[in-house]
């Protein structure tokens, strides 16, 4: 059991690197050689996925899973609190004529709305499953 932890974390590190390289590859080559970029991306992502599948089945296991859960919760709390301050502020400023909504700001606002809509739906689903009405 003890050798499994370093193995899965090495696999995670390697697959993370492969995903990063794949994204970089795609971003750099997509304009000049799109077909090379997409096949390279697919190859790297499949390699990373297969590597994780064979070595890192524990990657979503209890110990790492606990960290990832806490991290996800903290991230969403942070983004949520920041949005809860920033967006009402922007709406107020826009109402008073100090700020105009640009497509950029609106895009971020809709992303935040989408994110918390998904979170809310999942949370309500979980809650209904654990608290039968």
Q: By the criterion CB under 8 A, which residues form the site for another protein? A: 23, 26-27, 29-34, 37-38, 41, 45, 64-65, 67-76, 78-79, 84, 87-88, 91-92, 94-96, 102-108, 110-113, 115-116, 118-120, 122-123, 126-127, 130
Q: Please list, in sequence order, all residues whose beta carbon lies within 8 angstroms of the beta carbon of residue 103, skipping any fewer than 6 positions away.
A: none
Taking the least distance from each CB to another protein, the nearer of 54 and 103 is 103
- Residue 7 belongs to what H/E stretch? helix 4-29
Q: Could you tell me which of 103, 108, 120, 100 has the C-alpha nearest to residue 83?
A: 108
Cβ(59)–Cβ(12) under 8 Å? yes
- Return the C-alpha torsion angle 34, 39, 44, 49, nearest 10: 120
Identify the burial level of 52 via C-beta atoms within 10 angstroms of its C-beta, where 0-12 means exposed, 13-18 middle and 19 or more buried. Answer: buried
């Amino acid at each position: 059991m003890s050798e499994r932890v370093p193995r899965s974390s090495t696999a995670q590190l390697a697959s993370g690197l492969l995903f990063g390289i794949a994204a970089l590859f795609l971003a750099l080559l997509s304009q000049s050689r799109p077909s090379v970029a997409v096949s390279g991306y697919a190859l790297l992502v499949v390699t990373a996925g297969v590597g994780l599948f064979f070595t890192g089945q524990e990657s979503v296991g209890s110990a790492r899973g606990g960290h990832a859960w806490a991290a996800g919760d903290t991230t969403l709390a942070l983004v949520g609190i920041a949005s809860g301050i920033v967006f009402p502020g922007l709406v107020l400023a826009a109402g008073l004529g100090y700020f105009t909504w640009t497509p950029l700001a609106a895009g971020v606002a809709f992303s935040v709305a989408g994110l918390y809509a998904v979170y809310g739906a999942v949370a309500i689903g979980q809650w209904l499953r654990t608290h039968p009405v």
